[in-house]
Chain A
Amino acid sequence: MTTPVLQLENITKHFPGVLANASICFDLLSQEIHAVLGENGAGKTTLMNIVYGLYKPDSGRILVNNEPADIEDPNDALRAGIGMVHQHFKLVPVMTVTENLMLGHEKTRGLPLGMLGRLDRKQVSQEIRSLGERYGLRVDPDATVEDLSVGEAQRVEILKVLYKGADILILDEPTAVLTPQETEELFEIMRALVGQGKSIIFITHKLKEVRAVANRITVLRQGKVVGTTTPDAVNMAELAAMMVGRAVLLTVDRGQSHPKGVVLSVEKLTVPGKSNQPVVNDVSFGVRAGEIYGIAGVQGNGQTELVEAITGLKKSVSGNVKILGKDITNLGPRLLAHAGLAHVPEDRQKHGLVLAFSVEANLVLETYYQQPFSDGWWIHPQEMRKNAKKLVAEFDIRTPSVSIPVSSLSGGNQQKVIIARELSRAIKLLVINQPTRGLDVGSIEFIHKRIIEARDQGVAVLLISVELDEILSLSDRIGVMYNGRMVAEIPASAAKRETLGYYMAGLRVEQSANKNVS
Chain B
Amino acid sequence: MRLEVFRITESEIAPRTATGKAVSHLSNLGVPVFAIFTALVVASLAIFLSGSNPIEAYLALAAGAFGDLDSLITTMIKTIPLLIAGLGVALAFRGGLFNIGVEGQLFVGSIAAVIVGTGFHAPIYIHIPVTLLAGIFSGALWAAIAGFLKAKYGANEVITTIMTNYIAIRIITWSIGAYGPLRKAASVVPETNSIFESARLPELIPGARLHAGILIALLAALLIFLLLFRTTLGIEIRTVGMNLHAARYAGINVNRTIVLTMALSGGLAGLAGAVQVMGLSPYNFTTGFNVGYGFDSIAVAVLGSIHPLGILLSSLLFGAMDAGARLMQLRARVPIEIITILQGLILMFVAANQIIRSLYHIRAPKGQGEVNLTQSWGGSTD
Contacts and interface: CB of A to CB of B under 8 A. Distances in A.
Interface of A: 311-313, 332-337, 343, 345, 350-358, 360-361, 365-366, 368-369, 374, 376-379, 381, 384-385, 401, 403-405, 407-408
B370 interface: yes
A357 B230 contact: no
Contacts of A376: 232
Given A356-B371, A378-B231, A379-B235, A403 B243 contact: no
A414 to B, nearest CB: 12
Contacts of A384: 14
Contact of A379 (B230, B246, B367): B230
A403 B232 contact: no
Nearest to A350: B245
B231 A377 contact: yes
Contact of A332 (B15, B233, B251): B251
B249 interface: yes
A351 B370 contact: no
Interface in B266-321: none
A369 B366 CA distance: 30
Contacts of B231: 377-379
Contact of B239 (A313, A352, A354, A385): A354
Contact of B20 (A311, A351, A368, A403): A403
A343 B232 CA distance: 22
A408 B367 contact: yes
Interface of B: 10, 12-16, 20, 230-235, 238-239, 242-243, 245-253, 366-371
Contact of A357 (B13, B232, B248): B13
A365 B239 contact: yes
A343 B249 contact: yes
A158 B370 CA distance: 37
Given A352-B249, A357-B239, 4 more contacts: A313-B248, A357-B238, A379-B231, A408-B367
Nearest to B367: A408
Task: Pick the most buried of B10, B12, B251, B253: most chain A CB atoms within 10 A of its CB.
Answer: B251
Given A357-B242, A358-B12, A360-B14, A365 B369 contact: no
Contacts of A361: 13-14, 235
A448 to B, nearest CB: 23
A405 B367 CA distance: 6
7 contacts: A358-B12, A358-B14, A361-B13, A366-B250, A368-B235, A374-B232, A385-B14
Among all A-B residue pairs, the 5 with the closest Cβ atoms: A356-B369, A408-B367, A334-B251, A381-B14, A333-B251
A424 to B, nearest CB: 15
A354 B232 contact: no
Contacts of B233: 377
Task: Pick the most buried of B12, B243, B253: most chain A CB atoms within 10 A of its CB.
Answer: B243
A408 B365 CA distance: 11
A356 B246 contact: no
A22 B107 CA distance: 63
B297 to A, nearest CB: 24
A345 B13 CA distance: 23
A78 B379 CA distance: 37
B249 A355 contact: no
B83 to A, nearest CB: 24
Nearest to A373: B232
Contacts of B366: 408
A385 B368 CA distance: 19
A447 B263 CA distance: 43
A350 B244 CA distance: 9
A332 to B, nearest CB: 6
Given A361-B235, A378-B231, A379-B235, A350 B246 contact: yes
Task: Pick the most buried of B12, B249, B366: most chain A CB atoms within 10 A of its CB.
Answer: B249
A360 B15 CA distance: 11
A369 B253 CA distance: 13
Nearest to B232: A369
Contact of A358 (B13, B248, B249): B13
Given A381-B14, A405-B367, A333 B249 contact: yes
A345 B369 contact: no
B249 A356 contact: no
Contacts of A345: 249
A337 B251 contact: yes
A75 to B, nearest CB: 27
A334 B249 CA distance: 8
B12 A403 contact: yes
Contacts of A408: 366-368
Task: Pick the most buried of A352, A353, A376, A403: most chain B CB atoms within 10 A of its CB.
Answer: A403
A401 B366 CA distance: 13
A133 B19 CA distance: 67
A369 B371 CA distance: 23
A351 B230 contact: no
Nearest to A361: B13
B379 to A, nearest CB: 13
Nearest to B20: A403
Contacts of A337: 251
A404 B230 contact: no
B380 to A, nearest CB: 13
A337 B251 CA distance: 8
B232 A407 contact: no
Contacts of A311: 249
A46 B10 CA distance: 30
